[in-house]
Amino acid sequence: MLEKKLGNARQRHVRLIEKTIIGLFLVIVVSILLLENIPYHKFTELNDIPIQEAKIKEPSSSDIDKIRQEFKGLLQKYNDGLKPRIQESNLKNWDPDALYEINELHKNMMLSFSNSNYLNALNSIKLLTTKTLAILHKSEKIFKENIEKATLFFSDDYYKEAKLHIKRALIVSPKSTEAQSLQQDIDNLQQILPLLSKAKLARIENNLLKEHNFLESILKMNPNRPVEVQRIKLLKKIIKNKDFENHISTGFSKIENHKFKEARYHYQKAKEIYPDRIELTVFLKQLLAKERLYRIDLAFKQIEQAIREDNWEQAKSNYMQVMKDMPDNEIAIVGIKRANKILEIHLAINQYLESPSRLSDNSVLSEAKKAISQAEQFSRYSAGIKNKIEQLNNLIVLFNRLIPITVISDNMTNIQVRGIGKLGKIFHKIIHLKPGDYTFEGARTGFKSKLLKISIPHDQNNYRVSIVCDESI
């Protein structure tokens, strides 16, 4: 827009000059015609002709005002548009002569204006505008050429060449954000180049992880490197595949060595990498199968140990563990039944061993003998049952032998043993009773009755009882 207005101003100036030239030409032609019509002899009498001075027409006050206003308008546009741009172009550092010329032109222009020479001032502002535009065009050309070269060299990782041209670009446009950003990238290139060399060496050595780490450091400094971006994507994929395969391979090895916890660790790590890979299904299937077989095998070994130790509670627990993994295992089914029966027999015999005095009762004795008969069928499986059968048989003998009991009285007290029978009135009598608890009762007319509770130990060979009713009513 500004250039268009300046062009219009130049056209008006040209037309004004053309009009002036045409006017002068007409004056000359008219003068020649007049001279041709004057008699020749009259030229000899020039001294007699009165001389008239030619007068130059001065611009009218209205023309002067128009020129002045036009100048002010162009100056305002220059100050608002071109002047800030020329100041930002850092002209003193790359074309000081042009800067001097512009400053001088500006100074003379303002001097003409201050002297009211508005036409000269107008011509000066037009010339200043033209020169400034030419300088800015040159500045833009220099900037464009050098920014393009700097970008090209930077993209090819030529640090020195890129640095040289970005400096040239910044000389003509030091505030350019584009150039400043590129300069930062070029400065980073100085640190990137050694990392690139290390990455290339790692690639030659086929050290993918090392190469990946170097490239990752490079992209942190400059993420806009398409070659490295593509390479690191490929490396990530290769490394992921390699890590996945390593975890699967190591996991299978751990399964074979019955290190199932470590195998599960590698399974989880592989799953984090590729959760939907078919290898995971195969791996988990084999892991579960091997774990199951290992648990069953371990349980049977523990069963054998428990049976040797006659620990049928533990044996039963291990049989049940087998049943969890293999519900139709006949050995486990039979083993649980046997363990339950042996544990029942232990409980049955224990109730007699814990209260042996009950064995003197005939009904209890009969039940105890039945328990022994059932227990004998399983004594070959349990040494504990065999020992308890022996203990119970001994207790049966002890609690069913007759121990001589000496009963002493006054021959006036009528004596009986509850549940056994009457002894009558006696001084001294020997009866035979099994070990156990008994109640002797004494009665006499006119005297208080007496009850005497005794407990005959099973380990004694005789016992003495005295009962007399001697307390009158």
Could you give the CA distance from residue 287 to residue 273 in angstroms, rounded to a whole number?
Answer: 19
Q: Which pLDDT band holds residue 30 (cuts at 50, 70, 90)?
A: very low
- Is the predicted pLDDT of residue 292 greater than 70, yes or no? yes
Q: Which pLDDT band holds residue 28 (cuts at 50, 70, 90)?
A: very low
Could you give the CA distance from residue 299 to residue 396 in angstroms, rounded to a whole number?
Answer: 40
- Which are the contacts of 224, defined by CB distance < 8 A and separation ≥ 6? 185
**pLDDT of 272:** 95
In this structure, the dihedral spanned by the alpha carbons of residues 177, 180, 184 and 190, taken in order and rounded to 10 degrees, is 150
3-state secondary structure of 415: strand
Mean pLDDT of 302-312: 95
Structure tokens at 468: 């007399």
Could you give the CA distance from residue 217 to residue 148 in angstroms, rounded to a whole number?
Answer: 27
Could you give the CA distance from residue 221 to residue 431 in angstroms, rounded to a whole number?
Answer: 114
Q: pLDDT above 70 covers what percent of the chain?
A: 87
Of 442, 437, 408, give the one whose Cα is nearest residue 422. Answer: 442
- Is the predicted pLDDT of residue 130 greater than 80, yes or no? yes
Could you give the CA distance from residue 2 to residue 81 in angstroms, rounded to a whole number?
Answer: 9
Mean of per-residue pLDDT scores for the chain = 86
**Residue pLDDT, tens place only, 220-271:** 988 888 888 999 999 999 999 999 999 999 999 999 999 999 999 999 999 9
Bigger pLDDT: 3 vs 349: 349
Residue 262 region by backbone torsions, left for phi larger than 0, else alpha for psi between -120 and 50, else beta? alpha
Could you give the CA distance from residue 359 to residue 287 in angstroms, rounded to a whole number?
Answer: 58
Are residues 248 and 279 in contact, defined by beta-carbon separation less than 8 angstroms?
yes
Bigger pLDDT: 384 vs 473: 384
Q: How many helices (H) and strands (E) does the chain have?
A: 15, 7
Bigger pLDDT: 146 vs 52: 146
3-state secondary structure of 60: coil
- Which are the contacts of 375, defined by CB distance < 8 A and separation ≥ 6? 345, 348, 349, 385, 388, 389
- Which are the contacts of 432, defined by CB distance < 8 A and separation ≥ 6? 402, 403, 404, 405
**pLDDT of 27:** 37
- Is the predicted pLDDT of residue 293 greater than 90, yes or no? yes
Exposed, middle or buried: residue 114 (CB in 10 Å: 0-12, 13-18, 19+)? exposed
How many CA atoms lie less than 13 Å away from 345 in the CB half-sphere? 28
Could you give the CA distance from residue 216 to residue 315 in angstroms, rounded to a whole number?
Answer: 60
Q: Which pLDDT band holds residue 282 (cuts at 50, 70, 90)?
A: very high
**pLDDT of 59:** 61
Q: Which pLDDT band holds residue 40 (cuts at 50, 70, 90)?
A: very low
**Residue pLDDT, tens place only, 394-439:** 999 988 899 999 999 999 999 999 999 999 999 999 999 998 889 9
Q: What is the pTM of this model?
A: 0.52
